[in-house]
Amino acid sequence: MDNKLGFKPIPMAVAVALTLLIWFVIPVPQGVTPNAWHLLALFVGVIAAIIGKAMPIGALSILAIMLVAITKVTVPELDPEGNPIKNPATVAIKDALSSFGDPLIWLIGISIMISRGILKTGLGARIGYYFISLFGKKTLGIGYSLAISELILAPVTPSNTARGGGIIHPIMKSIAGSFDSDPEKGTQNRIGKYLALVNYHSNPITSAMFITATAPNPLIVNLIAKATNSDIHLSWGTWAVAMLVPGLAAMFLMPLVLYFFFPPEIKETPNATQFAKDKLQELGSMNRGEKIMLAIFAVLLILWAGLPDLIYNDLLVKWFALEKMSLAVNPTTTAFLGLSLLLLSGVLTWQDVLTEKGAWDTVTWFSALVMMATFLNKLGLIAWLSKLLESGIGGMGMGWVGAVTLLLLAYMYAHYIFASTTAHITAMLSAFYAAGLALGAPPMLYALLLASSSSIMMTLTHYATGTSPVIFGSGYTTLGEWWKAGFIMSVVNLAVFVVIGGVWWKVMNYW
């Protein structure tokens, strides 16, 4: 019988100590309600436990739901009419479970299930080898092939770890191995180190380009919508169009920058195209599953981009004097449609869906964190924190440009102390966004800058996101090289999104 504890004692003890310290020792500040302060105590404890990896994030989320329900921190003593709240325990558990009905959370969960079809059918590998067969005559061309493959898969693979680590990384290792570039033989500098870095640094850029390219992006949409009373609600299409130009610019520069700082010993790779063609020959012609997966992939992109509604209402109505009607499909409904088609066609089975643990795990922890962040906002704590930031930065006498620069740099480089983008975003984005708005930042511009930097920060460390330990763990780079590459790419990517993104967003009239 296994008598091991289900948690790591030291990080759990730290998390509990922080919770108790805030709850019982630090006085409730003026302007903050006791309920809001106590929820903050639970929130800080949960985030500390996530950072310290005291338990899996899904398990910690179950604890968070339990603690919110049992402490009733979301339930006021009196209703708006001044009467005692009836059945506070029932209200508390409803509050604790409230975010399980959030469509954005299910968008990511269902999209992860859909992405299993890309792996199962082999479509992802085929796409990767296809581009290498076209552009693989030089090492730089192989780098761009990996980046393009990552970009094509990004809209329908919200697990950036599955995309970069599960689909692209095995292809990258196969290519490196074909040139006898192996860390165990000490030959990683031949080509493997460069390709591993391109493999990884494609991942944060593509994650920034689509709402459905990484799990925390819908959380950003949710937090920004709540902060602006839904004045800004980034749709899938709006996000994709906004990030298209800076994202493509960053993707174009990334292989070149890494080639300059980490030049491979092998620069000409005439055999790579033949290697990829041989792999494609092994795969044979596209099977039924791949064809269906590709067709559903296209349907998802068309509906997520809102093309039927755009074509009908912006073109056909004008050309043929038709009556306007909404053909828009909610992004989450679109995801359910895609999964339904995969199940009906037999590309995925219900057992495949059940065994996609990452999807169910994401729905669980996402719901818990969104719930806590939502009630921190409802109880007024985010507004209080943003005023503290506003007064601190406002006292420096800088305009909104200086304030946004300071806030953006502090927000992004704080990721050195986070091992989870979700924990980082949940802990910091709302307060930093509200503070920036109070200091005069254009709401849409600042929202897009925070959204993009929330993915760019993944570049920094070997523990920044789930993809990083997969690729770093392959041994192609040293820790120093990984951190050096991460810092360089964070500066390059941030500059691209601020400068090129800023101009593009001005052209798009977003600010």
Confidence grade of residue 473 (pLDDT, cut at 50, 70, 90): confident
Residue for token pair 């819908």 = 218
Of the CA atoms within 13 Å of residue 325, those in its CB half-sphere come to: 4
CA dist., res. 511 & res. 503, Å (int): 10
Confidence grade of residue 447 (pLDDT, cut at 50, 70, 90): very high
Cα dihedral across residues 343, 349, 351, 353: positive or negative = negative
Note the pLDDT tens digit of each residue in 269-317.
Answer: 888 889 889 999 999 999 999 999 999 988 988 888 778 888 888 788 8
Q: Check residue 500 and give its pLDDT.
A: 98
CA dist., res. 345 & res. 294, Å (int): 13
Q: Residue 388 phi/psi, 5° resolution?
A: -60, -45
Higher per-residue pLDDT: 276 or 382: 276
0.85 cut: is pTM over it?
no
Q: Check residue 223 and give its pLDDT.
A: 92
Burial of residue 18 (number of CB atoms within 10 Å: 0-12, 13-18, 19+): middle
Burial of residue 235 (number of CB atoms within 10 Å: 0-12, 13-18, 19+): middle
